[in-house]
Structure 1
Amino acid sequence: MPKGSNQKFKLYRLAQIMLDKTDDEHYITMPEIMKALAEYEVTADRKSIYNDLRDLEKLGIEVEGEPVGKGYHYHVVSRPFELPELKLLVDAIQSSKFITERKTNELIGKLEKLVSRYDAMKLQRQVYVSGRIKTMNESIYYTVDAIHNAISENKKIRFQYYQWNVKKEMELRHGGAWYHISPWGLSWDDENYYLVGYDSVAGLIKHYRVDKMLHIQMSEEDREGREYFKKLDMADYAKKSFGMFNGKEQNVKLLVANYLAGVIIDRFGNDVMMIPKDDEYFTVNVQVHVSRQFLGWIISLGEGVKIISPDEVVEQMKEEIKRLQRQYTILKI
């Protein structure tokens, strides 16, 4: 039998058809396969299609045929990603504040192409689970890429940094001054992306919201601060920094009610040492950057947690409580 038309596209189109139209719950028959190929102006006989279905496995697309009546129906039984895995990725993208709304939809659209049209509808429903506030900085993807490139080439970066003013306008910080930083890593905290780097002028490790960085450029200068980052555990750094706000790093002892044990473990990890004090309370020593955000976290836990030491931090908490009392006593709107 002579070969059909457009044979060089046949295997590609067959893969498209099987991936798009079939899954564990949806099947396609041989006549339907031939009809779908014809829509792409590809003609083929049954025997060659049987061979092609077997060849798809070499491309990582496993197709299974099952007898139904006098014929067979076929479907894809394995894919690079399972539907539950893609749902997790969709949820992560949707809940990430540093990804813009437009880019969120683009990324999810690409993920939908990894499953059948039927499962893609299930992913699309996931998109609207959460109405998160999104960044408006479309250049964040290029910023992240530039940071990774600088890290791999051991170079500093230069960028400007902005904040929002009361008119909802982007306003460059420090009058538009350029920041010159040695990038050492990226951290994800409170659904935001942060650059963690070394400021050689200040002699400090600092972090910056990636979506607030503008006009990033790779410097010709080599990175500095290696000795600091050799001793730095990036995950531990994020754990100690509440909301990624800086503060003096200190060992703080807390008295905590037993019912808040889960809160402590969630924040500081399963290896944190909790020493029972009595039947209702335990003490725990945690290494944190003591900032107003840390004190606010303690306050938010109510009477179930109390700072025991050091005295310096206890006094900071007392001053913060006095400040709040003054603010809500004097403030009149």
Structure 2
Amino acid sequence: MAKGSNQKLKIVYLIKILTEKTDEQHSITMNEIISELKAYGVNAERKSLYNDIENLRQYGLDIVGEQHDRTYYYYLVSRQFELAELKLLVDSVQSAKFITERKTNQLIKKIEGLASKYQASQLQHQVYVSGRVKTNNEKIYYNVDYIHTAIDRNSMISFQYFQWNVKKEKVLKKDGKPYEVSPWALSWDDENYYMVAVDSSDNKIKHFRVDKMLNINILDKPRQGEECFGEQNTDVAHYAKKLFGMYSGKEEIVKLECENKMAGVIIDRFGKDTMFIKKDEDHFTTNVKVILSNQFISWVFSLGNGVKIVGPDDVVEKVKSEVERLGKQYSD
């Protein structure tokens, strides 16, 4: 048999065919494999393909051959990602506000490439990107890369930061003067991407929306502020658990009185190691360490009668002040 123009790529195209054309519900015959290879400019004989498939099995590809009547059918079983995992990735990309619509579609297309064409069609059925709230800052991907690089190098960064005005125009904060901060982590909260950093001007932890950062530069200055994370020693995951909506504030140990039915809510928010102290047959108390902010107080309000802040006294007074403020705001 005459050699095809891409003969040296036979094994590569064989993997491509099995990956794209087959899965546990869809198989392919040897004749169809030969035909598909020919479309790529590769001529192949059955005997050589049997050897190639066996070599791929030894390499680690889970290729199954099943006989129906007198015909053998081949399909690829296990993949790097299961279909359920790919669906989860698609959902995550779609829901992320910090990923632009254009980049969302590009990423989903790449995710589809990890599945067979039949599985890819299932992924397409759950794609709803148009109309979702998405950032329009295409440079966010470079911003993320710069921040990660600075963290790896233990370096500070400078950048400009903007906000939107009522005319939907970008307005630079601090009149365009660059911020100089020490980045410690990136955190995904409320569908947005934030940089957790220490501002050297006042040595406080601050949060910056990555899609609102412009003109990032990595500075030839070592990072500062490790002590700001306290005993966790820059354990940002532990720190983020105390946050509500990425709002900064004073760290406090707050005592909550909860109805028993709210146990799951407390565990979901603060972790299973949170200690519960029985108050009576219907209530328990717990002490939680949080970054105290109006956002935290609003979270407690949202739980209705199920959770109540009972200490310390200064926090209770802050809650009363917030209730009074809201009453005035919505009074006639």
Cα deviations across residues 214-234 of structure 1 (Å, max 9, x unaligned)?
111111111112333462421
State the partner residue of 1:327.
329
CA shift digits 1:233-271 (9 cap, x unpaired): 212211211101011111111111112111111111111
Given the alignment of the two structures, is residue 249 of structure 1 paired with residue 243 of structure 2, yes or no?
no
Whole-Å Cα distance in 1 between the matches of residues 6 and 310 of structure 2? Answer: 78
Q: Tell me the amino acid that sits aligned with residue 280 of structure 1.
A: D
Which amino acid in structure 2 is aligned with residue 197 of structure 1?
A
Shift of 1:175: 1.4
- Are 2:184 and 2:234, in contact at CA under 8 Å, matched by a contact in 1? no
- Counterpart in 1 of 2:19? 19
State the Cα distance separating 1:324 from its structure 2 match: 0.8
| Secondary structure of the corresponding residue to residue 242 of structure 1 | coil
Tell me which residue corresponds to 2:125.
Answer: 125
**Are residues 1:136 and 2:133 paired?**
no
TM (normalized to structure 1)? 0.94
Preserved contact between residue 160 and residue 214 of structure 1 (Cα < 8 Å): yes
Aligned-pair RMSD on alpha carbons? Answer: 1.8
The one-letter amino acid of 1:216's match is: I
SS of match in other structure, 1:127: coil
* C-alpha distance in 2 between matches for 1:137 and 1:4: 47
8 Å Cα contact 2:104/2:129 also seen in 1: no
Gaps of 5+ in 2: none
How far apart are the structure 1 equivalents of 2:261 and 2:114?
Answer: 44
Q: Is the 8 A contact 1:5 1:44 kept in 2?
A: no
Partner SS for 1:206: strand
CA drift of 1:56 comes to 2.5
**Aligned counterpart, 1:277:** 279
Which residue is equivalent to 2:204? 204
Amino acid at match of 2:155: K
Within the candidate set 257, 266, 269, 1:267 is matched to 269
SS of 1:78's equivalent in the other structure is coil
* Aligned length, in residue pairs: 330
Shift of 1:130: 10
State how far apart, in whole Å, the 2-side matches of 1:232 and 1:153 are: 16
CA displacement 1:300-323 (0-9 Å, x = unmatched): 111222111111111111111111
The equivalences for 1:7-46 within 5 A come to: 7-46=7-46
TM-score (norm 2): 0.94
Q: CA deviation at 1:57?
A: 3.2
* 3-state secondary structure, aligned to 1:279: coil
User: Following TM superposition, by how much is the alpha carbon of 1:278 offset from its aligned partner in structure 2, in angstroms?
Assistant: 0.8
* Structure 1 position 51 matched with structure 2 position 51: yes
1:83 is displaced (CA, Å) by: 1.1
Residues 58, 215 of structure 1: alpha-carbon distance in 2 compared, 3 angstrom cutoff: farther
CA distance in 2, matches of 1:251, 1:292: 15
1:68-123 deviation line (CA, Å, top 9, x unaligned): 21121111122111111111111111121211121111111101111110001111
Taking the aligned partners of 1:9 and 1:64, their CA distance within structure 2 comes to 22
Which 10-residue stretch deviates more, 48-57 or 84-93?
Answer: 48-57
2:134 counterpart SS class: coil
